Structure 1
Amino acid sequence: MWCRGFLQQTVRHVSSRQAGVIFDVDGVLVRGSAVIPAARRAFRKLLDSNNNFLFPTVFVTNAGSCQRHHKAQQLSHLLDVQITPEQVVLSHSPLQMMKSFHDKCVLVSGQGPVTHIANTLGFQRVMTMEQLSEHHPLLDMVDHSRNPTLPSSPPQSLPQIQAIILFGEPVRWETNLQLLIDVLLTNGRPECGYDTQLSPQLPVLACNTDLLWMAEAPSPRFGHGMFLLCLESVYRKLTGRELEYKALLGKPSLVTYQYAEQVLRQQNCNRRLNTIYAVGDNLMTDIYGANLYNRYLGQRHAAVTTTTRVVARGMGSEVMAEEEPMSAIQCHSILVRTSPLRFTSFFF
């Protein structure tokens, strides 16, 4: 059910361009390849007579097996509205900001053109799970039909893996679980035996922590978060330690909402927005993430207000006007009741 109050509140801000909107995609606008009829009707109210958006709008999805321009083309076709790649934020989009990893040899896991995606994000030395398996065929032994029939030659030399990027759920979970554990427990050298001394863990960057997502099936499907749960469980069982993440990206992470707000500001001529409306169908990602970001904005705004008062009383150093944060004042979450909500009680 779409929220009429949300539309009424948002339109009030149109003239001053003080509001921006973050839309989830799956379960809010589409289910699989089909547009949700009510969403299409409501969506038209957010456009002017020339089919232009009335205010800054971004589409933030935890999908990560494609690139922004492909998702923009898909949404433009489904919604019959021109959506630009700059309006799309995928789960891996914030990786562009993590420049300290861009020159490292990274192992990537996921579906789709993962090498091209990683290169587009700035990563220069990329290794796929398929390349790793091809160079070390004895590591993946679950599928007997793919086991080498001839004595294996010595493994070819590969550069040491320095970080792992998990873009999304893989097709062959057993292969990726095995190889990822091999890389983690050999400090990036899977041709060696496990390191019993447990060296400092390799950095792991994970995108999309959704346990479930809504497609065309009547009940939710496993998401990348379910795969991460399996990886964490195996790692804990073998090492007695918790798997540590250098970064968790996608909703509900703060960095994703910060990145989305930055994109909204760019559409608003880099002017600050007062209010952000985040529309989603998943309590544990869309709504929790938006509420978390709203709390962050409130704390940030309160801290700046307090500092300004102290400065005004002559009790602190002068704050320059250009140092005033560009962050919005608040972020309102809007729940669309179309999907995993009714299954939440099964898991809590």
Structure 2
Amino acid sequence: MTNGGGVCEERKAAQLSGWLGIRVAPSQVILSHTPMRDLVPQLAEAPVLVSGRGDVLAVARGYGLGRVLHTRQLGRAMPAATPFSSYPPPASAAQGAAAPAAAASVPESNITAAAAAAQFAEPCPVRHLGLATEEAPIHTVLVMADPDDWYRDAQLICDVLSGAGVPARSPAAAAAAGAAPVRLVFSNPDLLWANEFPKNRFGQGAFAHMVLSLYSRLTCGGRPAHVTFYGKPNPQPYRLAERLLLAQAHELGLALPEVPTGTLPFSGIYAVGDNPAADVRGANQAGAPWVSVLVRTGVFQGPGPNCDIDTARIAVDDVAAGVEAALHHTRSLRWHSMR
């Protein structure tokens, strides 16, 4: 379970299988946007705008969204809306441009570029399909992963919100038309994340803060009518993980103890992570049988062995020590239960 995303669960499972040397099934992977699958019954035929690096457009289509476009497609359809972003010119039929490689077949480092090339090769969803117009206004914006162009996406999302689904429409015209407000959904609220740089980097939570702050300035203190955050520490991924763990236990034929309705038949679910505000806070808020395990290999670097604000049940140096601590904790629980 991760607040990362931008690829489908099948691709991430294959990547994990290669890293770990064991088979990881897609049903054992929860990405930041995986809980968005629950929105498909509401959004299957609604015009939806997606934002994020990687191949989130293909992911959204794979979930079952039928009328979806990416912010880079919207920006290319109306380039004057984002004058500081660049878009390739449309390829003419005379040029005979070769079809771009599918993002699923390219290395992880090139997936955003491959996805963009594939999207630009499609018929324009605004001019050809009428999406993001008064005839088919955007119903929901899904920020499925950290955007690859924060300026472009912040500008277009604010335009869509203020125009009630039509980026070129003024707020006054939207109000006069009685247009419904647009829903805005972020796949995770992480302010910071860690990579090889010695200091933490801004994440999607920082992008969300920027969008909401800009919208507030544009509307004299307003806030979009419908804003939802998924991802850790919010409850959606934890409830989904519980359902998937139960299903996997049944598939494996494990003998689960009888428990009261609404109680999970697990002695412990160990959430190992490096971000106290996401991993530790989420596991602590999820309650039993979740057990938070903090590692010092990413966002958290001290001071002290544990975070003072979001304090983990277990704090160790790295993931290997976290697994060992979880096994020891489970053995202790079993020993005490037999006394």
Asked if TM exceeds 0.5, the reply is yes
| Shift, 1:147, TM fit | 11
**Runs (5+) with no aligned partner, structure 2:** 90-125, 257-264, 311-339
Which of structures 1 and 2 has the larger relative contact order (alpha carbons within 8 angstroms, sep 6+)? 1
| Shift, 1:194, TM fit | 3.2
In the alignment, which of 89, 93, 97 is matched to residue 30 of structure 2?
89
Corresponding residue number in structure 1 for 2:295:
336
Higher mean C-alpha displacement, 73-82 vs 256-265: 73-82
Partners of 1:185 and 1:195 within 8 A in 2: no
- 2-side partners of 1:71 and 1:245: how far apart? 30
The alignment partner of 2:23 has SS state of coil
Match runs of 1:1-348 below 5 Å: 60-98=1-39, 99-143=41-85, 156=127, 157-158=130-131, 159-195=136-172, 201-239=181-219, 240-269=221-250, 272-294=265-287, 329-342=288-301
- 2-side partners of 1:265 and 1:67: how far apart? 22
- 2-side partners of 1:191 and 1:106: how far apart? 16
* Structure 1 residues 332 and 135: CA distance shift in structure 2, 3 A: same
Partner AA of 1:193 in structure 2: S
| Shift, 1:193, TM fit | 2.3
Partner AA of 2:32 in structure 1: S
Partners of 1:205 and 1:248 within 8 A in 2: yes
1:163-214 CA distances to partner (integer Å, 9 max, x unpaired)? 1100111111111111111100000011322337766531111102111111
- 2-side partners of 1:64 and 1:78: how far apart? 17
- 2-side partners of 1:235 and 1:182: how far apart? 9
- 2-side partners of 1:129 and 1:195: how far apart? 24
The alignment partner of 1:340 has SS state of coil
| Shift, 1:129, TM fit | 0.9
**Runs (5+) with no aligned partner, structure 1:** 1-59, 149-154, 295-328
CA RMSD, 1 decimal: 2.6
Partners of 2:5 and 2:144 within 8 A in 1: yes
| Matched pairs, number | 247
Partner AA of 2:30 in structure 1: V
1:316-338 CA distances to partner (integer Å, 9 max, x unpaired)? xxxxxxxxxxxxx5211111122
Partner AA of 2:146 in structure 1: E
1:281-311 CA distances to partner (integer Å, 9 max, x unpaired)? 11000000000101xxxxxxxxxxxxxxxxx
The alignment partner of 2:69 has SS state of strand
Partners of 1:65 and 1:111 within 8 A in 2: yes
